[in-house]
Structure 1
Amino acid sequence: MDLKYGDTSFPLAIPPERLMGVIRPSAPDPDGDPAAIISEALDRCADTIATFRPGERVVIVTSDITRSTGSEIYLPLLVERLAAAGIRERDMEIVVALGIHRKQTKHEHRRIAGPLYGRIRITDHECDDPGKLVMVGRTSTGIDVVVNRTVAEADRVILTGAIGFHYFAGFGGGRKSILPGVAGRASCMASHFAVLNPGEGTGRNPLATTGNLEGNPVHRAMVEACAMVAPEFILNTVLSPAKRIIAAFAGHWREAHEEGCRFYAERFSFPLEKQADLVVVSCGGYPKDINVIQSHKSMEYGCQALRRGGVMILLAQCRDGYGNATFFDWFRFRDLDAFEARLRSHYEINGQTAYSLLQKARTFSIILVSDLPPEEVRAMGMTPARTLDEAMATATGLLPADYAAYVIPEGGTVLPITM
């Protein structure tokens, strides 16, 4: 079996008698035309698009390069529908929902926009430029919702992206395109802070977890913020592990998203009878292992299949390093209580992810196969390796002779659930 790593792969050699199973989503690769799937979804929005009027300014929000969405397929089809309704291309703009991520390169813009590149204006959201932000309201918990001015002042807003699991917002897609996608940094931080329970030392809210929307405080903040912008509709895709569109959901920004989340949960959860001693996880290659922050998702999901004290091998190239300049700085806190206290007093989204990573590094033995400097991997509480063979050799020395293992070839797309 070959496991993806960046743009390449490593062969896995594991004794058959040690292997409990391979954890994969049940969603099959599509047998239909992706363009037809998108067109059928857009048909559900035909009445809404028919209300668009020539001269109106239309903003389409879409995801950055760290998330495979099929935008090069769905954006041209969406623009075609808008043009048929009389919207001129010069009155359309694509805003890339960076949140607090880095700006995109021209090459990345070309990948996102596909054949629209050079025809439709495409800009990156800037979370730290006050002149490009505007406050649109305040949530029930007191979060000031500050968003991209271009989005807020558009006549019509359409949200696009992909639905997948998110380790504390429940699911990606839908409302997340507004907050944190096109929100100011302070709004992003405040909404994500809801992942923590009130009170020092009380840790994470148990409802702010993968695959859960009900009672999830982070999801609630995102929903309230999205309602303030009131998008016309959403177009969200679901992709197979091979990054092909298998479904699309379009319509009301909340109802269509929830429908897509139900579809995703049914096909990308994997029931287990028991946890294993060893879990070998690939993020699924580039871009899912582009940096540590993105790769953490696979670590989070994969841990659900691992017994406490077990060993995880995570294949994550991390060609872009950590994904944020401040992420690694958080690992100066080696004690989890001190880490949490600092996180509460100086909250950062990246600090939350770093805290979650360190929690897992203290609970399990994690061997990271990556291009990162070995001393930095050790500073994060993990064991570095350059190849899968090296990682397996290290893991064998930590495991009992009769260990049992799972393999997860697409760790960023499947959630193991112990029954």
Structure 2
Amino acid sequence: MPEQTSTTSQATLTLEITGGVAWLVFDDPDKKVNILSTPVMERLDGLIGEVEAAAEAGRVRALVVRSGKDGSFIAGANVDEIAGITDPEEGREKAAQGQAVFQRLHRLGIPTIAAVDGTCLGGGTELILACDVRLASDRDETKIGLPEIKLGILPGFGGTTRLPRLIGLIAASDIILAGKAVDARKAQKIGLVHERMHPGVLYDRAEELARAMADGEAAPSRAEPGLVQRLAEATPPGRNLILKQARKQVMKQTKGKYPAPLKAIEVMKRSAGKSLEKALAIEARALGELIVTPESKNLIHVFHLMEAAKKAGPAVAGRPVDRVAVLGAGVMGGGIAQLLSYRGLSVRLKDIDQGALSTGLRHARSMFDKLVKRRKLRRREADDRMNAISPSLDYAGFGTVDLVIEAVVERMDVKKSVLRET
């Protein structure tokens, strides 16, 4: 009997059914990497619906998810969309919508295999966590991780819930709380992927496995946490001890200044032992709370600055800068002011809120204190550089500065007001 082939295509995401195996292929022709934007997620939801119908009709017996890009799977969600969310309920709904799409994938009722070749981050990792089997190429570019913490949020499409249930709290906390990515070897070692192999045989193995599982063969085995760890995580006291240690480490590194890792720990604690549906609801609410925080908006701003720097052309000749003004205090503004002062510049730190100014100065002082503690500066030098930062509630002195850096809160009305005033 000849193989039946059908194709549904729409640029960034295509569905091809060949001989009973459906292939979902991500390949945005307009970008170097695949991004899970809202239109892509809507398209994915629709194609999963087509797979459901084809499976019910007996035309599809297994599904393989892959990328059409060499060395890149899915780089995550659309950061611009994240930055644009200013209401917690909107953030919760966005997370719940993403979770619903991946839950639909999880419940397809046929074997689902993710074939990862290259970078797989954020929503890409959350997508493969919803699949039955994960295969990865062993090329250097293959990295699997959840970097959301670095944007001041947490994995909200199911990652904070699914990863601990898959590889255990210890390994999952290490990835989630640090926003780190692991290579294919490490991913296999901790049980995140079932198999790793040369990229040249990855898709052949995925198809072979899809057909075998469709015929009733069991999924390949993967590494699992040891017996002692499994027993510990099976009880509330054991889970609490693990998460208590994780919180201690987070506080040591962040001094409690960043809410995202602490919220992620809270979510893992509250969702343990609950049904997947209830746990996902807890995760979605937490994402909504974090996505509107000043810390998240500031970290996203830093992310955009770093991306712009990567794309910048050759530097042009500049002019000497001795005096700088920073618009917007708080933790971010204080950090910028400290760095500038440390480099020998005079800094005017301006904010409309005295509390934000105080926070910025405290943060700058704490950073100088660390340099003294590490013997990178003498106390007198640190005091001199700290004195080079002058706080202000108005624009006095701005007429003599060489450069103004905008670091105000990520609210459009505030930014427009600042631009009008300056």
Q: Which has the higher contact order (CA 8 A, sep 6+)?
A: 1
- The structure with the largest helix share of the pair is 2
What is the TM-score when the length of structure 1 is the normalising length? 0.27
Whichever structure has more strand as a proportion of its residues is: 1
TM-score, reference length from structure 2: 0.27
